[in-house]
Chains A and B, each alone.
Chain A
């Protein structure tokens, strides 16, 4: 078994400890203790707590984005693409609830740099949603902010569930999250039909 590097252990520790204590209450001592490394080593690898958090965040966001994109691209029609991408996202978050907390909840109290990272990560999802404008009949008439709003709807529903400690239940929310995603583009009847299908 390959021993994980000290850097990897610290990043894992960041995810676990911050998910448990929240960003503000987490100290560098907490991280070094959880990772079994010295304070000196920590500061060789990271400038400060925030820097460590940001790397952990970027790593998690990257993995998630690639899984979502892979699932999305494997389908043809846009509603099916969204269904697949959302399913991949919900399942990933459900099996790693600490990552889910880090990515969607703790980032809110981790300072402005983290918040900018978060919003940038969400913006990367825009092209997936924008496809809905081409798919939808009359998509040209839709508000310019439609994709931003749909992304906001999805992250709101997901964050609510994570904050309530129910990250494991996220996959069961697919129908309502898919509805919220599709409804601005194709209307409630079509969105409800798509959401009702497996």
Chain B
């Protein structure tokens, strides 16, 4: 099995890591079962995190105040400070929750026996559905997080690295003998990211799943070539539950 590499230059491995190992390596929260229906926030902690996500999505992290969060969550300031050190600590906890959902989604579709292209189609579809079902968290995690403090940025970067490692598996069985740059998967991931961020910025996250075929194309074309990538894109579109034919 050819060596894989990650963007931060880790030593190559002789076998591809299991998804759970990748998640652990990035020290990310273990994936939890991500229900498409947002769970009802019961506990005070959950209500605070939901209020944080909502406020930072709507107003930006900078403009979000602890007062606003406490009011929205129906808790006292004292309660807030029992649970969180400060605003940033709270944001980071909300971010970790988002990542747990995202990783849980990937774990649900991952199987070492599945063909790589199938995993890309199913994983991308599941990820887009998750973002569409949680617009507040989507905006917080993908728009606000990268510029909301060092820890939030690192969490975001870690999530990207896990996805990148999965996309890099495409080089294990490429169509072409030509040397494909080791940055190809990272570049494709940035391409997908820019489409997703662009859609979230329009405010219409319900249309995120429509990006599926384009994202499948850009992530598979470096390894499978254009004809096969187009075929995978069409296949992904057919697999979408609500797609008009």
Interface residues of A (CB under 8 A from B): 24, 108-109, 111-112, 119, 138, 141, 143-146, 148-157, 160, 175-177, 179-180, 183-184, 186-189, 192-193, 195-196
Residues A156 and B221 in contact in the complex (CB < 8 Å), given A108-B146, A148-B198, A176-B183: no
Task: Give Cα distance in the complex from A109 to B182, angstroms.
Answer: 29
Question: What residues of chain B lie closer than 8 Å to A155, measured between beta carbons?
Answer: 190, 194
A149 touches B192 (CB 8 A): yes
User: Is the interface on chain B under 10, 10 to 19, 20 to 34, or 35 or more residues?
Assistant: 35 or more
Instruction: Assess whether A183 is in contact with B147, with CB atoms less than 8 Å apart.
Output: no
Alpha-carbon distance A193/B179, docked complex (angstroms): 9
**A189 and B176: CB pair below 8 A?**
yes
List of B residues within 8 angstroms of A187 by Cβ: 221, 225-226
**Which residues of chain A come closer than 8 Å to B147, judged between CB atoms?**
108-109
Q: Are B190 and A153 in contact (CB under 8 A)?
A: yes
Q: List chain B residues, Cβ under 8 A from A146.
A: 214, 217-218
**A185 smallest CB distance to B (angstroms):** 9
Whether B146 contacts A145 by the Cβ 8 Å rule is no
> Which residues of the partner chain B approach A153 to less than 8 Å between Cβ atoms?
187-188, 190-191, 194, 218
In the complex, the answer to whether A188 meets B180 with C-beta atoms within 8 Å is yes
- The residue among A112, A187, A196 with the most chain B CB atoms within 10 A of its own CB is A187
Residues from chain A with a CB closer than 8 A to the CB of B194 are 148-149, 151-153, 155-156
Interface of A: prevailing SS: helix
Q: How far in angstroms is the closest Cβ of chain A from B14?
A: 25
B230 x A157 contact (CB < 8 A): no
Contacts of A189 in B (CB 8 A): 176, 178, 225
- The answer to whether B174 has its CB under 8 Å from any CB of chain A is yes
Measured CB to CB, the closest approach of chain A to B233, in angstroms, equals: 7
A192 in contact with B214 given A184-B221, A187-B221 (CB within 8 Å): no
B31 at interface (Cβ–Cβ under 8 A)? no
Interchain residue pairs A-B with the least CB separation, the first 10: A156-B190, A152-B194, A109-B147, A192-B178, A180-B187, A149-B191, A176-B181, A153-B187, A153-B191, A143-B214
Q: Which positions 131-179 of chain B face chain A at CB distance < 8 Å?
A: 146-147, 174-176, 178-179
Known: A143-B214, A188-B225. A160 touches B174 (CB 8 A): no
- Please determine whether A188 and B191 come into contact, CB atoms closer than 8 angstroms: no
Given A143-B217, A183-B221, A188-B174, A148 contacting B187 (CB threshold 8 A): no
- What are 19 A-to-B residue pairs whose CB atoms are below 8 Å? A24-B62, A109-B147, A112-B60, A119-B201, A145-B195, A149-B218, A151-B194, A152-B191, A153-B188, A156-B194, A157-B187, A176-B182, A176-B187, A180-B181, A180-B184, A184-B221, A188-B175, A188-B180, A189-B176
